[in-house]
Amino acid sequence: MAPPSNPSSGEVAVTRQKKGPPFKFLVPLMYAPILPLIRIGLRKNPVLRDRLFVGVLAGGFLHGSYLVTDLYDIESK
């Protein structure tokens, strides 16, 4: 039986990449159909329609800005 390897012995650790879609980048595909559906579905209640539309839009922008900042990059390392 071989002795356990030591990282200081010059061996390089191999990391496996995750297989599957990167869900964090697929979230905008959910925002795209939701925004027009809010406008169409809540035509009779303009106050709720506008507030919900702005809230979902702001959430989308916050999500996008979070992904491009260094804060997300630090978490993923």
Q: 72 or 14: whose pLDDT is higher?
A: 14
Please write the tens of the pLDDT for every residue from 20-67: 777 777 877 888 899 999 999 999 999 999 999 999 999 989 988 888
> 27 lies in which domain range?
21-76
Rounded-to-integer distance, Cα 41 and Cα 38, Å: 5
Q: 69 or 77: whose pLDDT is higher?
A: 69
Task: Read off the DSSP letter of residue 32.
Answer: H
Would 65 be classed as within a structural domain?
yes
Q: 34 or 2: whose pLDDT is higher?
A: 34
Our count of domains for the chain comes to 1
Would 58 be classed as within a structural domain?
yes
Contacts with 72 (C-beta within 8 Å, 6 or more apart), sequence order? 66
Q: Is the pLDDT of residue 17 over 80?
A: no
pTM of the model: 0.61
